[in-house]
Amino acid sequence: MSEINNTNYFLSAGRVLWLTGLSGAGKTTVAMMMQRRLLVHGVKALILDGDQVREAINDANWQYDLQSRLKGSYRYSKLAALAANQGHTVIVPTISMFHEVQQWNKDNLPGYFEVYLKTSKKVREQRDPKVLYRDYQTGDNINMVGLDLKIEAPIAPDMVVENNGTMRSLSDACDQVLSAFIAKPLN
């Protein structure tokens, strides 16, 4: 991790680490791990967690249907652009289910690095941190991405992390993501 010791690299220009995957893939867990790893090296990263952004904006018209999700995806992207263009390191854990948004991110976000967290359906259902899968089984959750709504998985992410294992294997994966994120040249 010697690359990270040069914090001027991070402070001179903003960067965006985009974590995508279905509910239960570990996006928020990875984001928090990455934030802690960066902070140890003097880099304070901003997390724009999908659920927290949705809550902060508090738009009654921002629902969970396909059109609302597309609108929301662009909101995450534009907020990340705003912060990164001011020199911040931004971590965005969100489902990010649209190819058009993924392409917009690649074209517009400084230092954009996309990580796809792939997790089996069985593991996601076992984790079920927001009880979405259980609610789906009982009919209390509709418009579930990956079940009702199709996800457009990233076509060419910078990294794919298979996240079906333990916290230790996830910690190792975070180290790999961080090294690759740091090594990628700025746009």
pLDDT of residue 10: 47
Residue 80 lies in a domain: yes
* Per-residue pLDDT, 160: 92
Residues of the chain with pLDDT under 70: 1-12, 123-124, 127-149, 166-168, 187
* CA angle (35 as vertex; 169, 113 as ends), nearest 5: 80
User: Given this model, what pLDDT does residue 1 score?
Assistant: 45
Beta strands in the chain (DSSP E): 15-20, 45-47, 89-93, 112-118, 159-162
Predicted local distance difference test score (pLDDT) of residue 24:
76
Q: Kindly state whether residue 74 falls inside one of the protein's structural domains.
A: yes
Q: What is the pLDDT of residue 142?
A: 63
Report the number of distinct structural domains present in the chain.
1
**Residue 128 domain flag:** yes
The answer as to whether 122 is a domain residue is yes
Query: Which pLDDT score, from 0 to 100, does residue 11 have?
Result: 47
Look at residue 59 and tell me if it is in a domain: yes
The pLDDT assigned to 132 comes to 53
Q: Is residue 27 part of a domain?
A: yes
Task: Find the catalytic residue in 23, 73, 77, 96.
Answer: 96
Tell me whether residue 8 is in a domain: no
CATH number, domain with residue 177: 3.40.50.300
**Known catalytic residue at 73:** no
Q: By residue range, what is the domain housing residue 118?
A: 22-165+173-182
Q: Is residue 107 part of a domain?
A: yes
